[in-house]
Structures are given as C-alpha cells and as structure tokens.
Amino acid sequence: MELLLVILIGLLYAAGIYMMLRRSMVKLILGLILLGNGANMLIFLLGRIVKGKPPIIDSAEKMFTEIYADPVPQALILTAIVISFGLQSFAIILVKRAYKITDTDDLDELNTTDEIYE
Amino acid sequence: MKGKNTFTFFRNLGFLTLKKKSPISMILAILSGFIVASMIPLMSKFIKGKGSILIPFLPLALFIYFLTFLPQVSQGNPIDFFYSWVPSFGVDLSFRLDGLSLLFTLLITGIGTLVFFYTYSYLKGHVYLDRFYGYLSMFMASMLGLVLSDNIMTLFIFWELTSISSFFLIGFNNEDPKSRKSAMLALSITGLGGLFLLAAVILLGYVGGTYSIQELLSQSELLKASANYNWIIFLLFIAAFTKSAQFPFHFWLPGAMKAPTPVSTYLHSATMVKAGIYLLARFTPVLGGTAEWNTTLIIVGAITMVYAAIHSLFRLDMKGILAYSTISALGILVFLIGLGTEEALLAAGVFILVHALYKATLFLITGIVDHETGSRDVTVLSGLRKVMMPVAVAAFLAALSNAGAPPFFGFVGKDLIYEATLHFGDWAYVLTGAAIVTNICLLFAGLLAGYKPFAGPLPKQFEKVHLPHPTMWVPPLILAGLGLVFGIFPSLIEKSLIQPVFTSLVNNDTIIHLKLWHGFNLVLGLSALTLATGVLLYWKLKPSNNLLRKTFKFEILSPKTLTEQFGNLFSNFAKLWTGFFQNGYLRNYVITILGFLTLLLAFRLYQGVNIYIDTATLTDVTIYEAIVVIIMAASIIFTVFSKSRLVAVASLGVIGYAICLIFLFYSAPDLAMTQFSIDTLTVILFVLVIYNLPKYKSFSKKRVRIRDGILSIFFGTLIALLTLEVLSEPLNRETSKYYAENAYILAKGKNVVNVILVDFRGFDTIVEITVLVIAAIGVFSLLKLRLKSIEKE
C-alpha cells in the first residue's frame, strides 16, 4: 500500500503544479487544493501507516498497551486541513470578486495594477 | 622674535581656557556638528530667517577650542582622548590630537568658519538654507572625527560619513538632473573607495592585532614583513585615490563642482578631498618607506598632477579650471608623500596649508563673481576690479600665492617641492621636470581664475555689478592675506604648526626651518623659470571654445566615459535580469522556483539514490483500498483534463473523499471526519461561485501546456522518489511517545490527537482559530460589501 500511496502523492503533486501553472484563476485554486492534499498525504505516509490502530487509549487502560498509529502527523494534518480551508474559501471568494471587477479569469490580464479602470 | 611672541600668546591663551582635558569635551566638540545638524530641522523657520547668522559661530567656537591645544601640541606632546565604545570588537572612541591632526582640524574649523559666514550671504533667503547648514555641519563633524580618530574603525565610519554628506551637498540643487547625476557619480566612486578602506582596516587589524594607529605604529616592521602587506597598501591606495581624486578616479571631482560654491570651497578643495592625503600621510610612518609604497604613489601622483594640470589649460568655466587645478594639486601631494624623503614630507605638510589658503580663496571669489554677474566664463568676464576692488585684491593675492611668487607662502611651498625633487637621486631630473610642467600649468590656471576676470576694461553689461555683503568678501580676503603673511613671516607657523606636522609624518626629532630666501641657487632659478614661462603662456594661450571642443575628441577614452559606460552596462544587465525573473507573471515565478528545485533535487538523486524497501514490512493492499486508489487516480486525471468546471470541481470532491477513506483505513478517524466536512464545504462554496464565472477555457498554447506538463511530471516523480528515500530511513518517535504516554496522565484525555490539539498545543489551536475567523471576516466582507460605482466600470 505504501508504494501505491507514493504514486498517488507524486500524481497529486504533478497535477497540482500543472494546474497552478495555468492562466485561469479557478485552475490556480484547484491546483492549490491538489497540492495541499498531496502535502497532507505525504506527511501522513512519512509518519508510517498502521492499519486499524487509531491513537486512542483503550477506555480501561491509562496508557497504550499495543502498537498504535503515530498521533503527531495526524495532529499536524488536522491543523493543515483546517487552515487550508480558510485559505481556499478566501481565494474562491476573491476570484469571484476579482472577476466581477475586472471581467476576466485570465491571470495574464491581471498582472498590472494600472489600467484596470480603463 | 615675532614668532616667539605669537607662540607665547597662544600658550597664554591655552592656559586661560584649557583647564582640563576630559574626553567628554573632545567628543562633544566632534559631535557638536551632528547635534546641531539634527536640531536644525526642528527650528528650520528660525534658521532660515533671523537665526541663520548664529550657525557660523559653531565652527568659530570649535576653531577657538582647537586653537587652545596648539601650545601643547607645538611642544611635541600629542593629546589623547579615550572613551571605550565597543570593547568587544576593539572599536573605541579614541582621539589623538597631534601635529597632523591639528593642522587639519584648524583647516576644517577655520575655513569652515569663513565658509559658514560666506554661506550666510551666498544663500540668503534660499528655501533650503536650513538643510544646507545641516549638511555642512554634519560634514564638518565627520571630517573632524576622521582626522582625530586614532581607532581606524571609527576613522572608517567618519570617512563614510564625509562621503554621504558630500553626496547631499553635491546634489543640493536637487531639481537639476545634472546635479543629481554628479552626486551619484561622486557617491559611487567615493563609496567604492570606502569599501576598500573597510577591507584595508580589517586586514590591518588582523595582521597588526589592533585597530589603534598608535599601536600599529609600533608594529610597523611586522606589517611591512607580512605577506598581506601588498594587499593592505593596495586597498589603502584605492581608498585614498578615490577620495582624493587621483587618476584614474579623478573624474568625479569636476562633476562635484555642480554644488553651490561654498561646498566646492570647503569640501572639494580645502578639506574632504584631502582626506585621502591625510590617510596616506597618517600611514606613512606605519606602512611607508618601502619600494612598493613609494613607487606607486610617485607614479600615480605624477600622472595625476601633470594630466590634470594640462587639462586645466583648456577650461573656460572658472570652477572647471579650479577643479582641475585642485586635482593637480592633490596629485602633487600624493607625489610628495610618495617621494617619502624628509624634504618631500615637509614640502607636503607646507603645501597642504599653501593650497588650502589660495584655493579656498579662489573658489570663494568664483562664487562672488558668479553670484554678482551670473557668469563664470573667463572669456566673458573682465575688468571687475572696477566694481569690486576688495574681491579683486584677494583674487590677485591668491593668484600670486598660487603662482609661487615671492614673498608669498606659495613661494615657500614651491621651493620645498623643487628641493625635494632635485635631491631625489637618479630620477631627480625627470621628477623635477614633471613638477615644473605642473607648476607652470597651475600658475596659468591661477591667473586665469584670479587675474583675468578682474583685469582689462569693464564691459557694459557688468557696470551695474556691485560689491556683495561683507560676510562674502571678507573671508577670501582673510585667507589670501594669510597666504601673504605666512610667506613674509614663515616663523609664525614654523615651530607652532609645521614642526609638529613634520614630526608626526617622519616620526623622529628632526628640526625644520622655513625660509623665504635661500640665496641664489638652482631652486631659485627653477622658480624664476616657472614664473616666467607661466606668465608667457598666459599671454600667448587664449582659452576659447574651439580649444575646449578639441579636447572633447578624447572624451571617449577618458576614465569618466568608461566608468559611465560600465555603469550603464551594469544597469542594463540588471534591467534584463529583473525583467526576466520578476516579470509580473505568477507562473513564471513558480516555474523558476520549481525548475531550480527540480534541478537541485535531480542532481542530488543523480549522485546516489538510497532506496531500500523491505517488502515484508509493507502493509497489504486489500481490494477496497485498491479501488479507492484507482478512483482517486482517475479523479486527479479528470480534474486536470476536464473541459467542464463543474466536472473538475466534482472530481476534486471525489479526491477529497478518497483521501478521507484512506485516513479511515489507516487509523486516523479524526482526520477522516475533518477531511469529510471540509471537502464538502469547499465543493459547496465552489459550486455557489461557479455560476458567476466566465467560460471555463484553456488560455495557454499547446506548446506551453506540454512544457508545464513535463515540468510537473518531473517534479511529481522527484517528490515520489524522495518519499521513498525517506521511507527507507528509520523514524524517530520520541515526540509521539511522549504525547502518547502523557496524554492521559497529564491531560486526562484518551484521544491522543485531540489532546495534542487542545491541550499540549492549545495555543497553536487558538491562533489557528483566529486565522479562520479572519478568513471568515474576509469572505463575508468580500461577499456582502457592495462594489463602489467606480469599481463597477
């Protein structure tokens, strides 16, 4: 399974970068999300994956008695997911607003600040 | 006799005021210029109006303060002031007042006083008078610090400060593009020199083990024997040559004459440009006396003095003439320091004073002429003695001192120069010849600037010209008068001023004698020859525009043109470079960064991949997982290649859910929950916005898409390979172990991920929530706020 995940991560990164290099702002955001997902998967995998052993202490015990999944990458990823949602939602709304004002989705038409109101 | 009386007078003066020498008084004296400069903006109205006459009393007070040290220094007792500043770096505020420093401080404050008073009338009512005084005070303080510092690190700091204040003063007429350009040129050349000085200082400190000039003096032999000696003097020379406008760095000085005349007088003839000379003189006892030191200085000095002297023949602008003759005079000084004999060093010490007196006078007179007639063209000006007699008198006196005519101080100076060159062994005739040529041209230049505008008939257009305010014509008269007085009575300054200068230059006890009359000998003959030829040249050679234009042909080869071309080349390259990388296209930045990163990673992997996967440790793949992976891979491809935005967003949602399932399979229920809700929200948000957006289309050309595709695939592959490499490394679980063990014991929680987030790293989570709130406010305001009418256009 690790090998399959490695391939998926590579795919997510490649797709994310490709989308970021497009001229459409919507594609830029899609690329950003893909890249974020790739990074999350990467962290997850590097913490080593364990099947069916969530890092939750058994209700009868005070400590782990058997092998458990690493909680630290999970905490990191959880933070990352939430933060990237903040970023994504803001970016999506920003694109909408920018389109309303400039009438374009093409980044190349937005690379100057001078002539927007012409 | 007379000399002795004056001497006693100064000593008495000293006893009156000199009660004690605390370092504080010296530091205050040096910094007073900075203090005044920083206070001027606060009372700019007052300074521009009634207060303007007060500022010149600052240099006057300083002049008197430094004069009180004269008796003690004349007796051969330098005065030290020490205040520890940054002891850990060996940087101290240590000041030493010896003969050389005293000569310079008196020049700085004395000429400073006259220039400040002169400015009072020259720039009366100018909008920026306050600024001008501020820059000038700042410069004076920096210059004082420079010549008094015993610590070479502080010397460097003051050195840079003089360059900076000079930049402001040259660019004082900031609306004139030529002024600004000249200021930039001067700053870049002297700034370059400053950089070399810093290197020299660090190297000196490294080899000598100290930053104190006094202590370096005792290390002289060690320094000269050091392998770094050539580097040290090379760096020091570049610093001195740039500051003192030596060939081939001389060209910034004529440009610097764009500054108002008081600045040209003060900075660019009498004081700042002599800082390089000061540096060389100061280090003569430490580093001088070797063949490398002497030969380099003689060659550079000789080239500069002859080259600039000949240049001054063809100028028409009084300031231009004086600028080139100043460069030439600086060349003479470097040349004399290079000769390095006792006679030559004495000549240098005397010539510093000679030149300061007559050149400052000539500059001040140029300023008066310019101020009153509006012209500085020597072909137009004539007969002005009839309307401004006192100015003409000062000008004649200065021109005569410049010419080295007896009984002026200039005559004493020139005699010493010829004596020094004549007694210089094998090369005596060549060097004397160079000195004679230089002096003839300088004489010519002096007559052109100091005699021509005042002689002959008065043209009609100048008949209404009148004498300016006394604060303008008295200063040049004082300076020119001193040139005469010191010439007739050299004993006035022989023991009190020149002897200590000489002592600090040669570092031994030789006693000197200054004499006006040496009897009939070869030196006198040479002086007469110089005078006669110079005057003859003045009658024969009439400067004109034609002659000036002929020299322009050589402009293309001049160091100035070459430097400017180099500068343009540099800025064009910078423009191209910036235009290429900072072109305003976000994706080009991404491509640059990723391309570079990919190359770097590829190089690293090329050097050796260390991937070892033990298949036994891998987790098995069940059928459910395989299906999830396939769905996810397919969705990624859909997202990228879909022609419909809705499909792309939907596929993105599928990717999110697939990740959610993977989290669930591999023991991360919290992550699965979060991913599920966030992914749903994102998709909903997208769909809400989608209808308002334009057609979903592909803007790029096919070629571009292929290029991006290749780059992305490369990058993805590299990330995958890196992941594999990291996977084959052992993992350090110390942190997770700590959290797992203490989750219940310390935080009373059993879900370790939750405990980490809300307990162990609770603060991080609070900040995270804050970020989300800010994002939410942003989203809300972007959605709800109405567009202003102007934005809707």
Q: Give the model confidence (pLDDT) of B680-730 as tens digits.
A: 999 998 888 876 676 666 667 888 888 889 999 999 999 998 888 888 888
Listed by number, the residues of chain B in 620-649 with a beta carbon closer than 8 Å to a beta carbon of chain A are 620-621, 625-626, 629, 632-633, 636-637, 639-640, 645, 648-649
Domains and CATH numbers, chain A: 2-53+67-109 (1.10.287.3510)
pLDDT at B131: 86
Assess whether pLDDT exceeds 80 at residue B1.
no
**Chain B residue whose CA is closest to A13:** B716
Environment class of residue B644 by beta-carbon count within 10 Å: exposed (0-12), middle (13-18) or buried (19+)?
exposed
Amino acid at the residue B384:
L
Most distant pair of Cα atoms in chain A: their distance: 71
CA distance B605 to chain A (A): 16
Q: What is the rounded average pLDDT of the residues B171-197?
A: 89
CB-CB contact of B216 with B210 (8 Å)? yes
Measured distance CA(A99)–CA(A25) in Å, rounded? 9
Measured distance CA(B325)–CA(B311) in Å, rounded? 8
Q: A63 contacts in B (CB within 8 Å)?
A: 740-741, 744-745
Measured distance CA(B238)–CA(B244) in Å, rounded? 10
Mention every residue, 6+ apart, whose C-beta is less than 8 A from residue B444.
B312, B313, B534, B537, B538, B541
* Ramachandran angles phi, psi of B86, nearest 5°: -120, 75
Query: Per the structure block, which two tokens stand in for B297?
Result: 């200085």
Nearest to B609 by CA among B727, B715, B713: B727
Nearest to A81 by CA among B679, B389, B657, B247: B679
Residue B18 confidence class, pLDDT cut points 50, 70, 90: very low
Q: What is the rounded average pLDDT of the residues B558-576?
A: 81
ipTM for this model: 0.91
What string of pLDDT tens digits covers the 118 residues of chain A? 888 999 999 999 999 999 988 888 888 889 999 999 999 999 999 888 888 888 888 777 777 777 788 888 999 999 999 999 999 999 888 888 888 777 777 766 665 554 444 3
Give residue limits of the domains in chain B: 325-543, 746-793
Measured distance CA(B564)–CA(B557) in Å, rounded? 11
Environment class of residue B232 by beta-carbon count within 10 Å: exposed (0-12), middle (13-18) or buried (19+)?
buried
Assess whether pLDDT exceeds 70 at residue B38.
yes
Query: Per the structure block, which two tokens stand in for A74?
Result: 């999970």
**In angstroms, how far is CA B718 from the centroid of its own chain?**
47
Nearest to A8 among B633, B670, B717 (CB): B633
Assess whether pLDDT exceeds 90 at residue B160.
yes
Of B547-551, B573-577, B726-730, B789-793, where does mean pLDDT reach its minimum? B789-793
pLDDT digits (tens, 9 = 90+) for B368-383: 888 888 888 888 888 8
Assess whether pLDDT exceeds 90 at residue B39.
no
Of B36-40, B525-529, B580-584, B656-660, where does mean pLDDT reach its minimum? B580-584
pLDDT at B692: 66
Measured distance CA(B625)–CA(B23) in Å, rounded? 82
- List, as one string, the DSSP characters of B579-595: HHHSSS-HHHHHHHHHH
Q: What is the rounded average pLDDT of the residues B561-578?
A: 83
Mention every residue, 6+ apart, whose C-beta is less than 8 A from residue B360.
B111, B114, B115, B265, B266, B269, B270, B476, B479
Q: What per-residue string of b and e applies to B51-78 under the rule 16 or more CB within 10 Å gives b?
A: bbeebbebbbebbebbbbbbbbbbeeeb
Percent of all residues in chain B with a pLDDT value above 70, rounded to a whole number:
92
Q: Which position has the higher pLDDT, B628 or B385?
A: B628
- Please give the mean pLDDT across all residues of chain B: 84
Mention every residue, 6+ apart, whose C-beta is less than 8 A from residue B234.
none
Strand-pairing partners, residue A81, are: none
pLDDT digits (tens, 9 = 90+) for B105-119: 999 999 999 999 988
Q: What is the rounded average pLDDT of the residues B251-270?
A: 83
pLDDT digits (tens, 9 = 90+) for B455-468: 888 888 877 788 88
Strand-pairing partners, residue B97, are: B79
Amino acid at the residue B765:
T
Q: B723 contacts in A (CB within 8 Å)?
A: 6, 9-10, 42, 45-46
Q: What is the rounded average pLDDT of the residues B144-161?
A: 92
pLDDT at B12: 43
- A5 in contact with chain B, both atoms CB, cutoff 8 A: yes
CB-CB contact of B721 with B605 (8 Å)? yes
Measured distance CA(A38)–CA(B633) in Å, rounded? 12
DSSP label at residue B516: S
- A72 in contact with chain B, both atoms CB, cutoff 8 A: yes
Assess whether pLDDT exceeds 50 at residue B84.
yes
Alpha carbon dihedral B195, B352, B281, B90, in 10-degree steps, equals -60
Calculate the alpha carbon distances from B192 to B163, B199, B236 in Å: 10, 11, 12
Measured distance CA(B506)–CA(B27) in Å, rounded? 28
pLDDT at B6: 45
Nearest to B543 by CA among B458, B462, B459, B452: B452
pLDDT at B697: 66
pLDDT digits (tens, 9 = 90+) for B200-230: 999 998 888 888 888 888 888 888 888 889 9
pLDDT at B579: 80
Q: What is the rounded average pLDDT of the residues B168-173?
A: 88
Measured distance CA(B8)–CA(B153) in Å, rounded? 37
* Ramachandran angles phi, psi of B92, nearest 5°: -125, 155
Q: What per-residue string of b and e applies to B418-440 under the rule 16 or more CB within 10 Å gives b?
A: bbbbbebeeeeeebbebbbbbbb
A contact test, residue of B752, B781, B783 with most A CBs within 10 A: B752
**In angstroms, how far is CA B529 from the centroid of its own chain?**
43
**Chain A residue whose CA is closest to B754:** A75
pLDDT at A116: 43
- A10 in contact with chain B, both atoms CB, cutoff 8 A: yes
pLDDT at B240: 92
Q: What is the rounded average pLDDT of the residues B3-27?
A: 51
pTM score, whole prediction: 0.69
Whose structure tokens read 């890196």? B722
Percent of all residues in chain B with a pLDDT value above 90, rounded to a whole number:
19
Assess whether pLDDT exceeds 70 at residue B547.
no
- B793 in contact with chain A, both atoms CB, cutoff 8 A: yes
* Ramachandran angles phi, psi of B84, nearest 5°: -70, 130
